[in-house]
Structures are given as C-alpha cells and as structure tokens.
C-alpha cells in the first residue's frame, strides 16, 4: 500500500524514485566504494535504500546508526560489528555466518543474537571476510551519527574503499551538513579526499508527483478523494512524501479531508518538537530562532534583531552566525539568496 506509514521495503509500495534506484544500481554494479544519499527528513531515504536492497541481486544489509546512538549513546565498532553479523544472519542464516567468521576471536552467538567481547580489530576483520565472500552492500542509515564514537570511521571507510573492492558502502544522512562535516569529501586533509563516490540528493516530490501519489494511493485503497482535497493537501504538505503518506493513511483509516489534515498537523507538531528537543537542550536560542523564522523573518539581520529584542541584549555576530549555520547543518533551515527558510511546511507550523 502506497500509504503504508512504515519505511517501505517493497517496490510495489514505493512511488517513483526510479532515477535514484537506477543510480544506486549502477553505482553498485560498477563497484563504486561509496555512495551518499542526502535529503531532509521524511523524503524517503530509508525507504529508498530498503527497496534497493530488496530489489538488488547483490546481498546487503542496512544498519541504523541513529537507532544505535539512541540505544547506547555512542556508536562503537563493536555495536556496528554486532549489527552487521545479526543482519547477515537474517539474510543468510546462522550457519553461513559462523562459517564466514570462523577463526575471528571474541565473537559468540546466543540464538540469533551476537555478542562481541573483543575491542578493536573485529569490525575490520569481519569486513575483510565479507569482502572475500563476494559482492556486498552495507548501508549505514543516518551515518552522521557515526561521529559519536572514539573510533575514526572516516579512516576505516577510506581503508575499506581502497582495500575491499567487493563492498559498496551506502551512507544516508538527513542532517546533511553534519554528514558532510564528518566525511569532508572535498577537503584535502580528509582521509576520504580524492576517493571516487556517487552522491544522490533526494528532493521533495514535484506538485505533479505529489498529486499523482495521492491519487494513485487513494485509488489503490478505494477511497474517494475530490480534486480540491488533493490540491489542498499538496498545497499544505509541499512534496514531503512522509507527510503525504500520513495524510493518505489517515484517509485510509476513514477520516474526512479536514480531519485527516488536522490530525496530521497535530501529530506532526508533536513529532517535530520531540525531534528538535535535543537541539533545544544544547541552546534555547535554536528554538527562538526557529520561531522567529517561522513567523516570517528571513534575513540574517532581521532574525538577529528579533532575537536581541526577545533576549533584551546584544548578541555577538559570530555566535549568532554559528547558531544559524548549525540549524542549516541539521536541516532545519535552508539558506537561499533571500535568507533563511524552513524547508518543511509542517516544521514551520510546529514553530509558529
């Protein structure tokens, strides 16, 4: 079902993105070592890589670095190694995995779960074994969370890209600027500098795609939606497929147009504010800036002036610029020639 609200895994539930799927396919086929999938939240990065893995003739698994971080407050090499082995068990069975890693010390199995006792080497040893076995795709979803580790994953990636010709790494990131900061692909000092890679930037759906998505999704589940309702939903949700899906899902559950949009907005505000809470903890100014932009101030100086009025004091230019830059890195603001904008209408709504 196109309106299934979970990240998609099956092609028949996945609308379009044909170009992106083909780009992934070609990159893996050509043994490109590194592919980066970028895009703000809810544009379908996880779904894209899931569907790709499902359709691809090459074996592969997806690891969610964001989830690992929220579980352990860091993303250690052992946690990654464990995830990789458990993923492999799911796709090839435990016996094959035991065979694959035979001789690597410090790994034990408890049913279908894996325990890793030894520090260091294990992760690279496992990757070497995978490489010997044949072509393999390792997706690290929300890879900017790899920065929460004592290990230097960028060095490890550079090593893997040079040495493991059978493995393609696909890294996704919704906090686009943070992932770029971590990889520094264009910086001569970065271990990854000069390595070939393919970048895919997921964009919002166009108006036509959004309308078509809602139309096809409604037809699929047999609900009546009028053209006016479709236009209004697309107008309000602006090509963000995650929100279009939730609107459609609410309609599928039996809500009318107004209620479906209303419920979606209520839920979206809660989701967005909860996602934002970690930034708010770092500095309450992040939230104030978002509120100022959501209420229609967009230029550097207008936003700064409003923040100074709220706080009743002058703010250092450099500090202020850093706050804005960080909001851009996290994907909450986009910088254009006209100033700073919130790229997602429901994020804007949450701060209004």
* Binding-site ranges for Mg ion (CB under 5 A): 46
Question: Which residues are near ligand ATP by CB under 6 A?
Answer: 2, 4-8, 14-17, 39, 41-47, 174, 241-242, 245
Q: Please, which residue, 48 or 97, has the CB nearer to ligand ATP?
A: 48
CB of 348 to Mg ion, least distance (A): 21
Contact 138, 84 (CB under 8 A): yes
Q: How far is the CB of 190 from ligand ATP (least distance, A)?
A: 24
Residues whose CB is less than 8 angstroms from the CB of residue 190 and which lie 6 or more positions away in sequence, other chains included: 154, 183, 184
**Which of 9, 166 has the CB closer to Mg ion?**
9
CB 238, min distance to ligand ATP, A: 14
Q: Pick from Mg ion, ligand ATP, none: which does 87 bind, CB < 5 to 8 A by kind? A: none
| Contact criterion met (CB below 8 Å) for 293 and 341 | yes
Reported in sequence order, the residue ranges of the chain that DSSP labels E, i.e. its strands, are: 34-38, 60-64, 107-110, 113-116, 136-141, 167-173, 198-201, 334-336, 339-341
Q: How far is the CB of 310 from ligand ATP (least distance, A)?
A: 30
88 binds, among Mg ion, ligand ATP, none (CB under 5 to 8 A by kind): none
Give the pair of three-digit tokens for residue 305.
């002036």
Cα(136)–Cα(127) distance, integer angstroms: 10
Token output for 177: 């600027």
The smaller minimum CB distance to Mg ion, of residues 126 and 246, is found at 246
Q: At what angle do helices 257-282 and 227-237 cross, to 10 degrees?
A: 10
Closer of 9 and 124 to ligand ATP (Cβ): 9
- Smallest distance, ligand ATP to C-beta of residue 348, A: 17
* Tokens linked to 3: 């309106």
Per the DSSP assignment, residues forming a β-bridge with 200 are 37
The DSSP code sequence of 314-332 is ---HHHHHHHHHHHHHTTS
Nearest approach, Cβ of residue 197 and ligand ATP (Å): 20
Residue 252: HSE in the Cβ half-sphere, 13 Å Cα cutoff: 19
- Residue 41: contacted member of ligand ATP, Mg ion, none (CB under 5 to 8 Å, by partner type): ligand ATP
Q: How far is the CB of 346 from ligand ATP (least distance, A)?
A: 13
Name the residue number minimizing CB distance to Mg ion. Answer: 46
**Beta pairing partners, 169:** 34, 138
Identity of the residue, 66 or 135, whose beta carbon is nearer to Mg ion in the bound complex: 66
Is residue 192 within 8 A of residue 184, CB to CB? The reply is: yes
Binding site partner of 204, from Mg ion, ligand ATP, none, Cβ cut-off 5-8 A by kind? none
The interface partner of residue 81, options being Mg ion, ligand ATP, none and the CB cut-off 5 to 8 Å by kind, is none
Comparing CB distances to Mg ion, the nearer of 80 and 114 is 80
Cβ proximity to ligand ATP, 46 vs 326, nearer residue: 46
Residue number, nearest CB to ligand ATP? 44
């Amino acid at each position: 079902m196109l309106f299934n609200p979970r990240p998609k895994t099956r092609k028949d539930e996945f609308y379009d993105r044909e170009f992106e799927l083909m780009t992934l396919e070609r990159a893996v086929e050509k043994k490109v070592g590194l592919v980066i999938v970028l895009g703000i939240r809810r544009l379908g990065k996880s779904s894209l890589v899931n569907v790709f893995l499902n359709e691809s003739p090459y074996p592969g698994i997806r690891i969610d670095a964001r989830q690992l971080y929220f579980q352990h407050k860091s993303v250690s090499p052992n946690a990654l190694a464990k995830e990789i082995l458990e993923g492999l068990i799911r796709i090839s069975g435990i016996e094959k995995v035991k065979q694959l890693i035979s001789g690597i010390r410090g790994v034990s199995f408890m049913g279908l779960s894996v325990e890793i006792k030894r520090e260091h080497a294990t992760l690279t040893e496992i990757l070497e074994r995978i490489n010997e076995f044949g072509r393999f795709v390792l997706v690290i979803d929300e890879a900017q969370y790899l920065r929460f580790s004592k290990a230097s994953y960028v060095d490890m990636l550079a090593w893997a890209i040079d040495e493991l010709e059978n493995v393609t790494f696909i890294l996704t990131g919704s906090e686009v600027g943070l992932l770029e900061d971590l990889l520094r692909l264009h910086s001569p000092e970065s271990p990854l500098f000069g390595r070939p890679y393919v970048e895919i930037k997921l964009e919002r759906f166009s108006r036509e795609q959004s309308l078509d998505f809602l139309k096809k999704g409604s037809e699929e589940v047999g609900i009546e939606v009028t053209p006016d309702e479709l236009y209004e939903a697309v107008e309000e949700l602006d090509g963000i497929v995650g929100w279009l899906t939730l609107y459609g899902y609410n309609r599928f559950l039996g809500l009318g147009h107004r209620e479906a949009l209303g419920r979606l907005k209520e839920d979206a505000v809660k989701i967005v504010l909860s996602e934002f809470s970690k930034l708010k903890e770092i500095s309450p100014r992040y939230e104030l800036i978002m509120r100022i932009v959501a209420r229609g101030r967009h230029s550097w100086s207008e936003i700064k002036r409003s923040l100074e009025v709220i706080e009743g004091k002058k703010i250092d230019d450099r500090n202020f610029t850093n706050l804005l830059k960080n909001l851009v890195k996290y994907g909450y603001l986009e910088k254009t020639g006209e100033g700073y904008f919130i790229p997602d209408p429901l994020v804007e709504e949450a701060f209004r």
